[in-house]
A and B are shown apart, each in its own frame.
Chain A
Amino acid sequence: MKHARHRLLGAAAYLLPALLIFVVFTLYPFVLTCVQSVFTTNAKGDLIGFGGLDNYVRLFQSALYRISLKNTIVYIVLTVPGTMVLSLGMALLTSRDRKGMGIFRTIFTLTMGISVAAASMFWTFMFHPTMGLLNTAIEMFGGEKIGWLTDMDIAIVSISIVTIWMNTGYCYLILLGGLKSIDKTYYECADIAGVSGWQRLKRVTLPLLSPFLFYVLVISVVNAFQSFGVIDMMTHGGPANSTNLLVYSIYEDVFVNYNYSFAAAQGVVLFVIVTGISLFQMKIVERRVTYQ
């Protein structure tokens, strides 16, 4: 009896720091957000009256919210496959140990060390309508200038390009590590059996890499939902809300419109969406993942 209590105390001592951090910085704000979302608030953020599901009803009637939801989906559809295909391709190209491969591996992971702010600055220059490198190049080859960040249809694509550029380094590193961890006798077995090229990629490499691909997929989707920095630095959601994503919309409602409870409701909905998608990935997509 005494022994059991002793063990419990010991366990609690070890768990406490992490538990404390979780409660203070995650659980408490989350509960507060949920509470706030069913009240109305004034410009200072004080709760001034119970609103029930009013905020949620307003949310789904809001045209702007629907736009930002649509933008977010477009953004995910562009960035997640883009990042995964690009980082996988790079990892496959550099997975063999050849002379000089280290140089490429270093270059491919360099973007990991660049802050969102620096990357956004750099890409703002690249996308500059008249002086930007991209438009200068297009003009040089006789093409027509593109309004990278000013054209309503193009801006979300430009933002996606920057996001892919930013995230590829990390995903590349994960996938490269994954490729290196595959036992090379699998490849030798394929060599002897005469399974090569596309067949080998499809039947040997990708299935054995699947735990890593799954991890990259999950974090890419979550990251895309939570994307904020690039938007804030480069477009402020514009032009005409064409790059207004869910988190940026929350930010605007809090810090620009002082509409706290409405933003809280958006936060709760975002939480539900991300949780739902993650559950879907774990229940459905993960069935196709083989852990060794």
Chain B
Amino acid sequence: MIKMENIAKSYDGNTMVIRDIGLEIKKGEFFVLLGPSGCGKSTLLRMIAGLEEITAGDLWIDGRHANELLPKERNLSMVFQNYALFPHMTVRDNILFGLDARKVAKKEQDERLNKVAEIMGLAEYLKRKPAQLSGGQRQRVALARSICSQTPICLMDEPLSNLDAKLRGQMRGEIRRIQRMLGLTIVYVTHDQVEAMTMGDRIMVLNEGCVQQIGEPLTVYNDPENLQVATFIGMPQMNIFRARAEQEGLRLNGSLILRRCGGQPCPAPAEECIVGIRAEHFRRGNESTGYVLEAKAAMVEYTGDETQISFENGQGYSVVKWPGQIPAEAGEALTLGVDAEHLYFFDKDTGHRIRQDGGRSQ
């Protein structure tokens, strides 16, 4: 549906804000562009929309070479972060905006409007102005406009970022439901990893204008290609240590030691590297088959359904996360087990993942 080859963008001809992006988005796919602010994800989306020029590379939309196509010729719709609802128009006119220009007959417009208003639960608000709506309702109107245009591709630029947490969770599910129902191809920009993980069929993680990884949400989570992806996805953030291989195990940040149990081989692929351990991968006690870490609890936090314990690691704090309410107190000694398969190794200079089993995925 959308294909990019070596796409690049530069505003001044020197600095590239986006470099060498290649990807293919399939019909009916929910594709998420994820990255920290300023990584170029919105720019990339706007290049697909035709709102930004493509400096280099090729873009195909629905089989057509689209680099030079005007936005309206690309047959897509877009939901903006601020919704771009016209304050002087009623909800109805906002939803139908652009259908006259696309020469859709009045009768057909009414049919579409009624259907969309029903799907989105907007039927009783059609005569209101945007100023008389709540944030969530405005969001729905923006979405309804996009659906009403019946374009096969819908681009969304951080559409949920102006909503409060509860509504955001609700709209996540709603957008996903409508996308499935109508078979839309959605390209969705967000900096929120929860949105990316829960909504996307596939995620592309971008950083500083470069693709870090493209894959299904769980693949990206379980098998990150590099340190960037590993630390960007996951809450709390993956614990990162500088590791040095020693006789008895791995010295972390020059202070803690990750000791081998039994006959485990030396875990480090190099004498010095970076090791990452997710908070939920620590086990309680030394029942682990792999490695053990002795630390001292610095702070214990209960969220009700889980317990987070942080411990000092020589350069800051690392976090352990366990389900349930685990009795613990600050200052208490912790024995933490980690299985071998839950150690992520990264090159200390490039941040690339070092796979111990010859590069195969875990």
Given known contacts A192-B49, A193-B97, A195-B98, A290 and B87 CB-to-CB distance under 8 angstroms: yes
Interface residues, chain A, CB within 8 Å of chain B?
183, 185-186, 188-196, 199, 203-204, 207-208, 210, 290-292
Q: How far is the CA of A291 from the CA of B51 in the complex (A)?
A: 27
Q: Which 3 A-B pairs have the closest CB atoms?
A: A193-B98, A194-B72, A290-B88
Dominant secondary structure at the B interface? loop
B residues near A190, Cβ cutoff 8 Å: 98
Among B74, B77, B87, B88, chain A packs the most CB atoms within 10 A around the CB of B88
A195 lies within 8 A of B101 (CB)? yes
- Please pick, from A189, A194, A195, A199, the residue contacting B84 in the complex, using a CB distance under 8 A: A189
Q: How far is the CB of B73 from chain A (nearest CB, A)?
A: 8
A residues near B49, Cβ cutoff 8 Å: 188, 192
Cβ-closest chain A residue relative to B149: A193
Q: How far is the CB of A276 from chain B (nearest CB, A)?
A: 27
A189 lies within 8 A of B102 (CB)? no
Interface status of B86 (Cβ within 8 A of chain A): yes
B87 lies within 8 A of A194 (CB)? no
A191 lies within 8 A of B88 (CB)? no
Q: How far is the CB of B358 from chain A (nearest CB, A)?
A: 48
A residues near B102, Cβ cutoff 8 Å: 193-194
| Contact sample, A vs B, 13 pairs, CB 8 Å cutoff | A183-B82, A185-B80, A191-B70, A192-B49, A192-B72, A193-B72, A194-B72, A195-B98, A203-B89, A203-B97, A204-B86, A207-B89, A290-B129
Interface status of B36 (Cβ within 8 A of chain A): no
Among A194, A203, A290, chain B packs the most CB atoms within 10 A around the CB of A194
A185 lies within 8 A of B97 (CB)? no
- Please pick, from A191, A199, A204, A292, the residue contacting B51 in the complex, using a CB distance under 8 A: A191
Interface residues on B, range: 20 to 34
Q: Which of B78-116 contact A (CB under 8 A)?
A: 78, 80, 82, 84, 86-89, 97-98, 100-102
Q: How far is the CB of A190 from chain B (nearest CB, A)?
A: 7
B82 lies within 8 A of A208 (CB)? no
Interface status of B76 (Cβ within 8 A of chain A): yes
Cβ-closest chain B residue relative to A289: B88
Interface status of B71 (Cβ within 8 A of chain A): yes
Q: How far is the CB of B65 from chain A (nearest CB, A)?
A: 19
A residues near B71, Cβ cutoff 8 Å: 188, 191-192, 194
- Please pick, from A186, A189, A207, A208, the residue contacting B78 in the complex, using a CB distance under 8 A: A189
A292 lies within 8 A of B149 (CB)? no
Q: How far is the CA of A208 from the CA of B70 in the complex (A)?
A: 24
B101 lies within 8 A of A188 (CB)? no
A292 lies within 8 A of B98 (CB)? no
A residues near B88, Cβ cutoff 8 Å: 207-208, 210, 290
Cβ-closest chain B residue relative to A195: B101
Q: How far is the CA of A196 from the CA of B71 in the complex (A)?
A: 11
B101 lies within 8 A of A183 (CB)? no
Q: Which of B43-62 contact A (CB under 8 A)?
A: 49-51
B86 lies within 8 A of A186 (CB)? yes
Known contacts A185-B80, A195-B98, A290-B87, then 17 further A-B pairs from the complex at CB < 8 Å, ordered by chain A residue: A185-B84, A188-B51, A188-B84, A189-B97, A191-B70, A192-B50, A192-B51, A192-B71, A192-B98, A193-B77, A194-B72, A195-B101, A203-B97, A208-B88, A210-B88, A290-B88, A291-B87
Q: How far is the CB of A286 from chain B (nearest CB, A)?
A: 13
Q: How far is the CA of A292 from the CA of B76 in the complex (A)?
A: 27
B residues near A207, Cβ cutoff 8 Å: 86, 88-89
Q: How far is the CB of B357 from chain A (nearest CB, A)?
A: 48
Q: How far is the CB of A110 from chain B (nearest CB, A)?
A: 33
Q: How far is the CA of A207 from the CA of B88 in the complex (A)?
A: 7
Given known contacts A186-B84, A188-B51, A199 and B78 CB-to-CB distance under 8 angstroms: no
B residues near A186, Cβ cutoff 8 Å: 84, 86
Cβ-closest chain A residue relative to B51: A188
B76 lies within 8 A of A192 (CB)? yes
A residues near B100, Cβ cutoff 8 Å: 195, 199
Q: How far is the CA of A290 from the CA of B132 in the complex (A)?
A: 13
Cβ-closest chain B residue relative to A207: B88
A193 lies within 8 A of B101 (CB)? yes
A195 lies within 8 A of B97 (CB)? yes
